[in-house]
Structure 1
Amino acid sequence: MSGLSSPSSNDSQSLKYLDLFTIIKEKIDNYEWPENETIPTERELAERYQTSRTTVRKAIEHLRQKGYLHSEHGRGTFVLPELSRRSQRQLHGFTDDILARKGTPKQQILEFGFVPVNEPIRNALQLSSHTRVLRIKRVRFDNTTPMGIQTTYLPIDENNAFTEKELLEFGSLYKLLAEKMGLELLEAYETISARQPSSAEASLLELSVHDVILTCTRVTLSINRKPMEYVEMIYPASRYSYEIKITKDSFNRK
């Protein structure tokens, strides 16, 4: 593939993976490396930038996690389309939301275990009728203030699942899925509505049963466009807001 520049005089054997990450990212952002095309191999990058293949591998993995690259066994590593990159960068979880608001994300795990699921969830995750999934029910907090209830269903192998302790240690489920399970997020589809909470929900969220809550159902797709998560989220309308970007292309032309 053409367009790969030679290392500058400052490049050396000590080139860090974050430096290489920045170099590659700029080539993608500047369209020097076209989307849907393969990038140079690990060996080519290591030779060109006079660094180790381990450093190259870490930089590529970081770019994969950021939604810039996608690797396919036997075919190589490809530049993801810009639209896909935007989708992944904007897809984030509760932990990122609270941190962006300068808050302190915390969680209380109420349920954690493998269960059978009903037909709507099974269909959303494209599962067979006898498949069990990992269900995680949590109350999410900003410091001591309850901000929501999340019930997540993950179609992962029971023999290769993470533990409740690991989830508490990572704090963020999406970070855990990426770093431990190798599951990269691409995009999600959500349905949002409003209603009043049940008495149990009101108790967990410290609300009145007459308050309004937002309910959100999300199906998240992995980088290979397979469903990797079904989640039901409940938020107090007075404590949480959604920001949605609508572009001109979102409207039907008549």
Structure 2
Amino acid sequence: MARTTPRRWRDIATDLLQRIEAGDLSPGDGSSGRRRLPPEKELESYYGASRNTVRDALSWLQQQGFVVSEQGKGTFVVHRPNIVHVTLSAAELGLAPGNRSGQWYNRDAFIPASREVTVSPVKVEVQEGTKVIARYLQTNPGSEFVSRHQELFLDERPWALQTSFYPLSFATEGASRLLYPRDIPEGAVAYLGETLGYSEVGFHDEIRARIPDENEKRFFNLGDSAADVVFETVRTAYSPDGKAFRLTVTVWPADRTRLHYNNGKVPDDVLRTPGLGPSDHAPRESPPADDAGSG
């Protein structure tokens, strides 16, 4: 029996997308377990629409990267990785990595402790900064910077690309470890405090969505559809005198990342498990004795 629904292809595409995101499709490709959309004839009957209208809806879903059609087999839902919720406002200013048993991949972000974060070896370069980098770090165009780049993995899967920039003068004036292709166990902020007297009293974040470059497509296994975009977060850290002394650019795949911020008094359950609404958290009669919070 055909369901009474709008017949326009966009309405059909929207409804199918909602069913995809809700998991309202059964595996239909044998052992692979891939989720297959109903055949076109069945969709025509279900939506009371013409073949061309259904095909237009499927074509749009394919262009957006949600499904893929295979000759003689059908149309299948494209697998998307599980969502990772990242809280960017989680750390106390100046907190070094490693202080909370692996909960922090660095001092800038918090993820659940059950996830394992690993990083690639540090790649260090000395380079002439672009006008954009010079603007963020309040230096003259053409100034030289130290860049420290790493690939980040979550549960052994590609997760983020991160590059931090520091004025080259930091290395020549005493913070020489910035030039070494090794981790700084206490964290770069703490190290700069020890060597040059810098302390971080605040930061400014800028977030944008953009098309990935070829290296990002390779690392995150992204395609060319409109759904394959990345978030880029640009964090500028400031010292007490208002001087910018650290610029960190992190690139995240948008299809598997949700970025969160906290401000003010936020329930501890929400701090620990961002992405769940208050009604999704189990009620608690009383807070734990060591309820210190994270944000």
Task: State the TM-score, normalized to the length of structure 1.
Answer: 0.53
In structure 1, what is the equivalent of residue 144 of structure 2?
132
Q: Which has the higher contact order (CA 8 A, sep 6+)?
A: 2
The correspondence of residues 1-254 of structure 1 with structure 2, limited to 5 A, is 89=92, 94-96=105-107, 97-98=109-110, 100-109=112-121, 111-155=123-167, 156-159=169-172, 160=174, 161-163=176-178, 167-168=182-183, 170=185, 172-178=187-193, 182-210=197-225, 211-245=228-262
SS in 2 for 1:122: helix
Alpha-carbon distance in structure 2 between the residues aligned to 1:181 and 1:140? 28
8 Å CA contact 1:88–1:186 kept in 2: the answer is no
SS in 2 for 1:168: coil
**Cα pair distance change 1:177/1:101, threshold 3 Å:** farther
Deviation at 1:223, TM superposition (A): 3.4
8 Å CA contact 1:111–1:138 kept in 2: the answer is yes
Return the letter of the residue paired with 1:126: Q
**Cα pair distance change 1:152/1:228, threshold 3 Å:** same
8 Å CA contact 2:128–2:144 kept in 1: the answer is yes
8 Å CA contact 2:152–2:162 kept in 1: the answer is yes
Alpha-carbon distance in structure 1 between the residues aligned to 2:224 and 2:94? 31
Return the letter of the residue paired with 2:214: S
Alpha-carbon distance in structure 1 between the residues aligned to 2:110 and 2:91? 18
Deviation at 1:166, TM superposition (A): 7.0
8 Å CA contact 2:90–2:261 kept in 1: the answer is no
In structure 2, what is the equivalent of residue 70 of structure 1?
none
Return the letter of the residue paired with 1:89: E
Return the letter of the residue paired with 1:150: Q
Higher helix share: 1
Cα deviation per residue 1:197-251 (whole Å; 9 max; x = unaligned)?
Answer: 222111122333432211112211123321011222210123322212467xxxx
Gaps of 5+ in 2: 1-88, 96-103, 265-295
Alpha-carbon distance in structure 2 between the residues aligned to 1:174 and 1:104? 23
8 Å CA contact 2:91–2:110 kept in 1: the answer is no
Cα deviation per residue 1:171-198 (whole Å; 9 max; x = unaligned)?
Answer: 8444544556543222111111212322
**Cα pair distance change 1:236/1:148, threshold 3 Å:** same
Q: Is 181-190 or 212-221 further displaced after alignment?
A: 181-190
**Cα pair distance change 1:158/1:177, threshold 3 Å:** closer
Cα deviation per residue 1:9-53 (whole Å; 9 max; x = unaligned)?
Answer: xxxxxxxxxxxxxxxxxxxxxxxxxxxxxxxxxxxxxxxxxxxxx
Q: Work out which of the two has the higher radius of gyration on C-alpha atoms and give 1 or 2.
A: 2
8 Å CA contact 1:136–1:151 kept in 2: the answer is yes
In structure 2, what is the equivalent of residue 15 of structure 1?
none
**Cα pair distance change 1:100/1:241, threshold 3 Å:** same
Aligned residue-pair number: 162
Return the letter of the residue paired with 2:210: R
| Identity of matched residues, % | 15
Alpha-carbon distance in structure 2 between the residues aligned to 1:138 and 1:164? 14
